[in-house]
Structure 1
Amino acid sequence: MPEDEDFFEEHDSPEFADDENVENELYEHHRIIADKGQGLLRIDKFLMIRIENASRNKIQQAAKAGNILVNGEPVRQNYRVKPLDVISVVMAHPPRDTEVLPEEIPLNIVYEDEHLLVVNKDAGMVVHPGYANFDGTMLNALVWHLRHRPGAGPDAMPLLVHRIDKDTSGIILVAKTEEAQTRIARDFFDHTIKRTYQAIVWGTPRENEGTITGHVGRNLNNRLIMAVFPDGSHGKHAVTHYKVLRSYNYVSLIECRLETGRTHQIRAHMKHLGHPLFSDERYGGNQILKGTTSGTYKKFVENCFRLCPRQALHAKSLGFIHPVTGQEMFFDSILPSDMQSLLDRWERYVSGRGENQTSQ
């Protein structure tokens, strides 16, 4: 086995069945150091031996995309491995073994060409089939969409490169070819994809702008949630940059820019900062964490929970270089109605115009 492998984390774990195990990029990273006695061998054959379940096609796609580096330099698939070569490989994760059945489900596709498409996903939609979610997913809808386009073949299949939680809304990038998938996987690995989220959190961070750095991994006492390990003792390196956009004293609208894409990264990082996402049941945001817990204020907050009964998180924008044309692409989206209505209510409340909202 390789000396160091970085796979996306337990994507089919039943503990995360209801909201998927995300926000993970869907790629594999392998780092291998050739033995001192390694004989000259083509790197594609070498990797077929050293990487479990690696297909020849995936290795060829990785080489074509410049995703196979030897001693820091990209090489072709016919490069011959030498003793003590340090080899780094990034490959898109292979398609799932389970068949994804087409389903006619409405989707908000904001861009599409022959190589990729961009979807603005509604909250409540699971991205792909998995444990306890076998149908009704975005992937089922995309299979239908691709197979019913003029000239589409029966094997048309969307290829995921990242994903977001079931109850998180917003922009998702999907590849339509293995070449595009492999090149985008490298961009995620190199952190050149620009992603911003907007979230409504409890309270207001002390600093209007800041960076949260801390490994994110499974909570050692509760596998249903993720935790932050600042000392790096568990989990994986994670970095979130945040900025307060608007403060309503009790809650704030913040922007988060991701460098890494770990499971529940924003949700875990903001809880670690002391400002859980509003209405986030898993991370304690579905309780009153700012203000009194009785009287008309309590009724007002309970109505807000009913208005937005999910974590208040939206994948707002995505910027990347087109994997084939090299064109700079950028997609933005407005806040969904539940989050916008939530902000409007808090605005009226803190301005003294929210007295009648407790009975709504």
Structure 2
Amino acid sequence: MSILFEDEYLIAVHKPAGIPCEVDFALLKTLSQSEPLHPIHRLDQRVSGIWLLAKTGEMQTQMSALWSSGLVQKKYHAVVAVAPTPASGSLQHWLVQSQANKKVKAYAKPVAHSKQANLDYTLLKSSQRYHLLQVHLKTGRFHQIRAQFAAIGSPIVGDVKYGYARTTPDGSIFLQASSLVFPHPHTRANIEINLPLPELWQKYGL
């Protein structure tokens, strides 16, 4: 993991695909002299991206409140083999999580025990076979992006759990948490953290 942002209250690291967020915090201690570190959110194990942690329990509470209130702007990039129509738009589904297989099913209308999920997307670039999307996550549901794009027939490349045909060379899902923007709870500064796209995606013409 590499550090993308750090001050006396927060640290943001690049979590590569394949490393779980339940990672031994001894690994994180090599990146920061502060311990313990307090996760503010999670990323799926096979997803890469920005992982934000707090250096105190108080900051974790404050950042979690920002997260829940919608004041943290979260942008992802995803690669799909079937471009969504239209090229830019919004998706709204109601998600139901199965505890049996840790999978989410997306419905077009509310059903029992469902949670509403919303996102905006824009098609940024296309190669001969693949399409790069920017996704603005408006709610933060379990497997939300994966389930919603699968529901419209555009599963994310490598995501065999949600209907893609095969795995990628490194076993990752082509989904990355690429940007976080939020007001710092202590300094009040507007913090923007960005992460470049994975090099592997370039081999797919993106």
TM-score over 0.5 (shorter chain): yes
- Match of 2:160, SS state, is coil
SS at match of 1:314: strand
Instruction: Choose 137-146 or 117-126, whichever is displaced more.
Output: 137-146
Equivalent in 203, 226, 230 of residue 104 of structure 2: 226
> Hey, what does 1:125 align to over in structure 2?
19
**Which residues in structure 2 correspond to 1:43-54 (within 5 Å)?**
none
Superposed CA deviations along residues 90-130 of structure 1, whole A, max 9, x for unmatched, are xxxxxxxxxxxxxxxxx2011111101111111111111xx
Work out which of the two has the higher radius of gyration on C-alpha atoms and give 1 or 2: 1
> Unaligned stretches of 5+ in structure 2?
none
Alpha-carbon deviation of 1:306?
A: 4.7
State whether structure 2 residue 119 is matched by structure 1 residue 240.
yes
**Greater helix fraction, Structure 1 or Structure 2:** 1
How do 1:86-97 residues align onto structure 2 when only pairs under 5 Å count?
A: none
1:159/1:178 contact within 8 Å kept: yes
In structure 2, C-alpha distance between the alignment counterparts of 1:235 and 1:226, rounded to whole Å:
10
| C-alpha separation in 1, matches of 2:202 and 2:24 | 24
Aligned partner of 1:225: which letter? K
RMSD, aligned CA: 1.9
Equivalence for 1:279: 158
Contact preservation (8 Å) 1:215, 1:235? yes
SS at match of 1:270: helix
Structure 1 distance, partners of 2:171, 2:138, is 28
Which structure is higher in strand share?
Answer: 2
Which of 201, 206, 219 is equivalent to 2:80?
Answer: 201
What is the aligned partner in structure 1 of residue 172 from structure 2? 310
CA–CA distance in structure 1, aligned partners of residues 25 and 146 of structure 2:
24
- After TM superposition, the score normalised by the length of structure 1 is 0.54
Give 1:207 deviation, angstroms: 0.4
Q: Any conservation in 2 of the 1:203–1:249 contact (CA below 8 Å)?
A: no
- Cα–Cα, structure 1 residues 160 and 280, in superposed 2: closer, same or farther, change >3 Å? same
Partner of 2:41: 162
Asked whether the equivalents of residues 125 and 138 of structure 1 are also in contact (C-alpha less than 8 Å), the reply is: no
* From 312, 320, 323, the counterpart of 2:182: 320
Alpha-carbon distance in structure 1 between the residues aligned to 2:128 and 2:105: 26
Q: Deviations over 1:232-278 (max 9, x none)?
A: 21331211111111123532110111011111110000001110001
When residues 249 and 339 of structure 1 are mapped into structure 2, their CA distance, relative to the original with a 3 A threshold, is closer
TM-score, normalisation: structure 2: 0.91
Distance 1:343 1:236 in 2: 36
Give the Cα separation in 2 of the matches to 1:163 and 1:138.
Answer: 14
Q: Equivalences for 1:1-360 in 2 at 5 Å?
A: 107-128=1-22, 137=23, 139-146=25-32, 149=33, 156-219=35-98, 223-233=101-111, 234-248=113-127, 250-287=129-166, 305-343=167-205
- 1:229 positional shift: 2.2
Residue pair 1:308, 1:339 contacting (<8 A) in 2 also: no
1:19-47 per-position Cα deviation (integer Å, ceiling 9, x unaligned): xxxxxxxxxxxxxxxxxxxxxxxxxxxxx
Q: Which amino acid aligns with 1:232?
A: P
Deviates further, 176-185 or 317-326: 176-185
Give aligned pairs, total: 205
Counterpart CA distance in 2 for 1:212 and 1:165 is: 21
What SS does the aligned partner of 2:180 have? strand
Q: Deviation per CA, 1:171-201, whole angstroms, max 9, x where unpaired?
A: 1111111221111111111111011111101
